[in-house]
Structure 1
Amino acid sequence: MRAAIGLWRWRRNPLRRTTDVIEAWVALTAAVLLCLAVPAAGVVAGLSADASLQRSVRSQYEERVPTVARVVRIAAEDTGERTAEAAGEQRLRPAVVADWTAPDGSARTGTVNTTLKHARPGDSFPLWTDRSGRAVPPPMHAETARAHALIAGLTLALLAGLVVETARRLVVHRLVRRRYARLDRAWAQAGPDWGRTGTGS
Structure 2
Amino acid sequence: MARTQRSTVWLWRWRRNPLRRRSDVLEAWVLLTACVLALVGGLLAGLVTQGAVERDLDRQRVERQAVTAVLVEDAKGKLSAGAADDDRVWATARWTAPDGSTRTSQTKVRPDTPAGTRVTVWTDQHGVLTSKPVTHEEARLQADLVGVLAAVTASGLAAAGAHVTRACLDRRRMEQWAADWARTDTRRGGKTT
**Could you say whether these structures have the same fold, taking a TM-score greater than 0.5 normalized by the shorter chain as the test?**
yes
Tell me whether 1:24 sits opposite 2:18 in the alignment. no
The DSSP-based 3-state class of the residue aligned with 2:18 is coil
The DSSP-based 3-state class of the residue aligned with 2:121 is strand
The DSSP-based 3-state class of the residue aligned with 1:10 is coil
Q: In structure 2, how many angstroms separate the alpha carbons of the residues matched to 1:190 and 1:55?
A: 71
Q: In structure 1, how many angstroms separate the alpha carbons of the residues matched to 2:164 and 2:105?
A: 61
Alpha-carbon contact 2:30-2:162 (below 8 Å) kept? yes
Partner residue, 1:75: 75
Q: In structure 2, how many angstroms separate the alpha carbons of the residues matched to 1:111 and 1:173?
A: 57
Alpha-carbon contact 1:127-1:135 (below 8 Å) kept? no
Partner residue, 2:120: 127
Partner residue, 1:167: 161
Amino acid at match of 1:31: C
- The CA deviation at 1:149 is 2.0
Q: In structure 2, how many angstroms separate the alpha carbons of the residues matched to 1:134 and 1:18?
A: 63
Amino acid at match of 1:50: E
- The CA deviation at 1:8 is 3.8
Q: Given the two structures, how large is their TM-score scaled by the length of structure 2?
A: 0.67
Partner residue, 1:93: 88
Tell me whether 1:113 sits opposite 2:108 in the alignment. yes
Evaluate the alpha carbon distance shift between residue 178 and residue 77 of structure 1 in structure 2; reply closer, same or farther with a 3 A threshold.
Answer: same
179, 187, 194: which one aligns with 2:181: 187
Q: In structure 2, how many angstroms separate the alpha carbons of the residues matched to 1:128 and 1:166?
A: 47
Amino acid at match of 2:22: T
- The CA deviation at 1:38 is 1.3
Amino acid at match of 1:65: A
Residue correspondence of structure 1 range 4-43 to structure 2 within 5 A:
7-43=11-47
- The CA deviation at 1:28 is 0.9
Partner residue, 2:133: 139
Render the CA deviation track for 1:137-167: whole Å, top value 9, x for unaligned: 4333222222222232222222211211111
Q: In structure 2, how many angstroms separate the alpha carbons of the residues matched to 1:55 and 1:135?
A: 16
- Across the aligned residues of Structure 1 and Structure 2, the Cα RMSD in angstroms comes to 4.3
Evaluate the alpha carbon distance shift between residue 74 and residue 91 of structure 1 in structure 2; reply closer, same or farther with a 3 A threshold.
Answer: farther
45, 52, 63: which one aligns with 2:49: 45
Alpha-carbon contact 2:57-2:134 (below 8 Å) kept? no
Alpha-carbon contact 1:8-1:24 (below 8 Å) kept? no
Q: In structure 1, how many angstroms separate the alpha carbons of the residues matched to 2:126 and 2:39?
A: 52
Q: Given the two structures, how large is their TM-score scaled by the length of structure 1?
A: 0.65
Q: In structure 2, how many angstroms separate the alpha carbons of the residues matched to 1:119 and 1:31?
A: 60
The worse-fitting range, judged by mean Cα deviation, of 46-55 and 138-147 is 138-147
Partner residue, 1:3: none
Name the count of aligned residue pairs.
Answer: 181
Runs of at least 5 residues in structure 1 that lack an aligned partner in the other structure: 1-5
Runs of at least 5 residues in structure 2 that lack an aligned partner in the other structure: 1-9
- The CA deviation at 1:125 is 8.6
The worse-fitting range, judged by mean Cα deviation, of 145-154 and 90-99 is 90-99
Amino acid at match of 2:86: R
Percent identity between the two aligned chains: 32
